[in-house]
A and B are shown apart, each in its own frame.
Chain A
Amino acid sequence: MFTIVRREEMAGGTVILNEIEAPQIARKARPGQFVILKANEEGERIPLTMAETDPEKGTITIIYMVVGKSTALFRDLKVGDGYQDVIGPLGKATHLEKVGKVVCVGGGTGVAVLHPITRALKEIGNDVTCIIGARTKDLLILEEQMKNASHDLRICTDDGSYGHHGFVTEVLKEILEQGDVKQVVAIGPVPMMKAVSAITKTYDVPTMVSLNPIMVDGTGMCGGCRVSVGGATKFACVDGPEFDGHQVDYDELMMRLRAYQEDEKKCHESYCTIRDAR
């Protein structure tokens, strides 16, 4: 069992942080890599990118939004409980390079994944601007951490309750207008990564995105996570999860993410009904 040593609730309990004992994974993990987790015997395997690793403590940290049965099941785990299976580190680590001015764009729980990458980009000497967004102020996560990880932090909310009133893409456009941006990293909901990539393409700025397709094994043996990148089929679990944002077929990815929508809904509803009855 992989024991939970710390648990935090964020964004009004819709986003959960679990710090998990997994010394072997913590020792090897690099920013951008993910793990596959399975809560119990009947559980499914789901991928989550690591938000933090502490090799000395032997722990890894995941941050996830509660969106269905498995994440609801994860939310109900307390400190001292554990995951039956945690597998990793998986995927390729982020390619980190000193290029000059970099803009990191994060939306929703994507900010958690963006955080270690942003920090690493700053540590190797890049000039890092960060734009993070949420629907409303209460849903914003890791503001303090992102502030420390970058030179300049911009915040956007869809309803204007905090920071810029509007989308991250609007702020990004302003920054791109000023010129000099050498690299953009965008991690968040697929529509956001698609919109960011469309903008940076017009400014011809290299853009890296981290994709989140459906996965089963996470080791390249099933192809469930296949995505089209530059017209070629790639397996996100071994070839990614990070890809050139200008080459990704986002519409196909969104379509494939909806493959089990009805089953997922059914599963989540029955779990909530059973839990509420207790």
Chain B
Amino acid sequence: MADKPEKRTRMPMPEQDPQVRARNFLEVPTGYTVAMAQEEAARCLQCKKPGCVEGCPVGVDIPGFISLLSKGDLTGAVRNLWSKNALPAVCGRVCPQEIQCEGKCIVGKKGQPVAIGNLERFCADYEREHGTGELPPKQKPTGKKVAVVGSGPSGLTVAGDLIVKGHDVTIFEAFHKAGGVLIYGIPEFRLPKAIVAQEINFLERLGVKIEVNAVVGRTVSLDELFEQGFDAVYVGVGAGLPRFMNIPGENLVGILSANEYLTRANLMKAYQFPKVDTPIPIGKQVVVLGAGNVAMDAARTAMRLGADNVKIVYRRSREEMPARKAEIHHAEEEGIEMFLLTNPTRYLGNDNGRLIGMECLRMELGEPDDSGRRRPVPIKGSEFTIDCDLCIVAVGSGANPLLTSETPDMQLNRWGYVVTEEKTGKTTKKGVWAGGDIVTGAATVILAMGAGRQAADSIHDYLTIGW
């Protein structure tokens, strides 16, 4: 402790060696030790008006939990986290902290910000592995029943908030396992499924009921939920409709949406085939279309499944890549190549209808478009071919109409997303709230959780005061 706190650099997170981890499904960062966590915690200046809290969409009391951690009260630290965030082990891992809490950390103005995400993760992991399992206090039962449709990050947040406020909460999930994108989308090496299962189990211990295999819109409608005695419904079904490129040859064997590829790998654990029954195509030469976090996840999964080479093909430049910098860095360390300013124009197949390559055009950046990003323009005559036997399409997703098309009295916008009141998440259908990707389109885990928090507050007001 010779240095003054503000001069110390951030405690690095130990990680598996890139060469080794590129071929296994174990988590990449291996986590802080107690000593590492406390050394990092000591860098926090305990601001009176903390910017970091403003940067957190669910308003975690960051100086508060860090102070408890510094004092060695790890149980206190995790209970402090839980009071604002039911999923700290998840958020510590997958939040883009650089644009949220850590982006507003004062220590970061002249150096590296406090590693808030790593500390949050440490506290949650420590409690899970060594904790007492003591639950946060619950208010007395209100007798009101709330149905939460979808068990992704926003639905879990709503359930966690309302159960401690004394309401009776049931989550309806279409898949056979709860967790939404945390289970089917984000891979094991970034978010171990055992951790997600334990965070969900924490909610169940608090009293949240979870009904899996329940496809709301098919198995049961929203109106039937009200008939069954629910007083309010929260719709958090995500944006699970995969987009394709709509170019010739798209239905060749060997072209999958990232949703399908990742669902097979993560939810169905196809990387263990034939120990499990779900197969997954093993590509030797793999192309991933798109450059968001989902594209990075798909590319890194393909590498771990034994690809010789994996290419990210993206029509814009590195500047515009929507994935987190850390994810791009991890991908490149693992040997994934970036084919930037490149756009596929058609897929090439053999006589058996299997993918063997794709034709692409080189692009250059033109004038900024509506999104403010410079529009990619094809360079004439720049056609070239990339050989590949597996292509994963990760160019975004849209609103799945399965539930909304069965609910005509809930207003949608022209892209099929649910229209809600901004501050509360109220839909145009009485007693129904919505939040997360089904309102905003594909965004982040923590934004979905923020929407869940707002809706939960509004639902609580409705149940205790009125609409």
Which chain B residues border A238 with CB–CB below 8 Å?
401-402
Smallest beta-carbon distance A261→chain B, Å? 10
Which chain B residues border A69 with CB–CB below 8 Å?
277
> Of residues 204 to 232 in A, which have CB atoms within 8 Å of B's CB atoms?
216-217, 219-224, 226-228
Which chain B residues border A258 with CB–CB below 8 Å?
253, 352
Report if A70 contacts B (CB, 8 A).
yes
| B400–A222 CB distance below 8 A | no
Report if A151 contacts B (CB, 8 A).
no
| A219–B400 CB distance below 8 A | yes
Report if A177 contacts B (CB, 8 A).
no
Instruction: Tell me whether A224 and B260 are in contact in the complex, defined as CB-CB below 8 angstroms, given that A85-B213, A267-B279 are known contacts.
Output: yes
Most buried by A among B215, B260, B274, B277: B277
For residue A264, which residue of chain B has the nearest CB? B279
Q: How many Å lie between the Cα of A89 and that of B244 in the bound state?
A: 26
Q: How many Å lie between the Cα of A266 and that of B289 in the bound state?
A: 30
> Of residues 36 to 73 in B, which have CB atoms within 8 Å of A's CB atoms?
none
| B279–A216 CB distance below 8 A | no
Instruction: Tell me whether A256 and B212 are in contact in the complex, defined as CB-CB below 8 angstroms, given that A87-B176, A219-B174 are known contacts.
Output: no
| B218–A28 CB distance below 8 A | yes
| B219–A88 CB distance below 8 A | yes
Which chain B residues border A222 with CB–CB below 8 Å?
242, 256-257, 259-260, 263
User: Which of A10-18, A39-47, A133-141 lies on the face that meets chain B?
Assistant: A39-47
The contact string, 1 if C-beta is below 8 Å from chain A, for chain B 199-243, is 000000000000011110011100000000000000000001110
Which chain B residues border A219 with CB–CB below 8 Å?
174, 215, 218, 240, 400, 402
Report if B275 contacts A (CB, 8 A).
yes
Q: How many Å lie between the Cα of A163 and that of B400 in the bound state?
A: 47
Which chain B residues border A25 with CB–CB below 8 Å?
219
| B268–A259 CB distance below 8 A | no
Which secondary structure dominates where chain B touches chain A?
loop
Most buried by A among B215, B242, B250: B215
Report if A174 contacts B (CB, 8 A).
no
Smallest beta-carbon distance B228→chain A, Å? 11
| A252–B259 CB distance below 8 A | no
| A89–B218 CB distance below 8 A | yes
The contact string, 1 if C-beta is below 8 Å from chain A, for chain B 354-378, is 0000000000000000000000000
| A87–B213 CB distance below 8 A | yes
Which chain A residues border B384 with CB–CB below 8 Å?
none
Q: How many Å lie between the Cα of A255 and that of B263 in the bound state?
A: 22
Report if A263 contacts B (CB, 8 A).
yes
| A266–B402 CB distance below 8 A | no
Which chain B residues border A148 with CB–CB below 8 Å?
none
Report if B278 contacts A (CB, 8 A).
yes
Which chain B residues border A73 with CB–CB below 8 Å?
277
| A260–B279 CB distance below 8 A | yes
Which chain B residues border A87 with CB–CB below 8 Å?
174, 176, 213, 215, 219
The contact string, 1 if C-beta is below 8 Å from chain B, for chain A 226-259, is 1110000100001000000000000010011011
For residue B274, which residue of chain A has the nearest CB? A267
For residue B246, which residue of chain A has the nearest CB? A233
Report if B251 contacts A (CB, 8 A).
yes
> Of residues 73 to 100 in A, which have CB atoms within 8 Å of B's CB atoms?
73, 84-90
For residue B238, which residue of chain A has the nearest CB? A221
**From A24, A42, A90, A216, contact of B275 by CB (8 A):** A42
Report if B276 contacts A (CB, 8 A).
yes
Q: How many Å lie between the Cα of A223 and that of B176 in the bound state?
A: 18
Report if A270 contacts B (CB, 8 A).
yes
| A70–B277 CB distance below 8 A | yes
Most buried by B among A24, A89, A219, A266: A219
**From B220, B257, B274, B400, contact of A266 by CB (8 A):** B274
Which chain A residues border B141 with CB–CB below 8 Å?
none
Which chain B residues border A84 with CB–CB below 8 Å?
176
Which chain B residues border A260 with CB–CB below 8 Å?
279, 281
| A267–B277 CB distance below 8 A | yes
Report if B175 contacts A (CB, 8 A).
yes
**From B218, B246, B256, B353, contact of A255 by CB (8 A):** B353
**From A86, A89, A221, contact of B242 by CB (8 A):** A221
Instruction: Tell me whether A256 and B353 are in contact in the complex, defined as CB-CB below 8 angstroms, given that A220-B402, A233-B244, A263-B273 are known contacts.
Output: yes
Report if B144 contacts A (CB, 8 A).
no
Smallest beta-carbon distance A195→chain B, Å? 20
Smallest beta-carbon distance B359→chain A, Å? 19
> Of residues 149 to 208 in B, which have CB atoms within 8 Å of A's CB atoms?
174-176
**From A90, A228, A233, A263, contact of B274 by CB (8 A):** A263
Instruction: Tell me whether A88 and B215 are in contact in the complex, defined as CB-CB below 8 angstroms, given that A217-B175, A238-B402, A252-B353 are known contacts.
Output: yes
Kindly list the 10 A-B residue pairs having the minimum CB-CB distance in the complex, ordered from nearest: A255-B353, A222-B260, A221-B240, A263-B279, A44-B277, A44-B278, A85-B176, A42-B276, A259-B253, A223-B257
List 9 A-B residue pairs with CB atoms under 8 Å apart, sorted by A's residue number. Answer: A38-B176, A42-B275, A89-B218, A219-B174, A222-B259, A233-B246, A256-B251, A256-B353, A260-B279
18 more A-B residue pairs beyond the given contacts A42-B277, A263-B274, with a C-beta to C-beta distance below 8 A: A24-B219, A25-B219, A28-B220, A45-B176, A87-B213, A90-B218, A216-B263, A217-B263, A222-B259, A224-B256, A226-B251, A227-B251, A233-B244, A238-B401, A252-B251, A258-B253, A260-B281, A263-B273
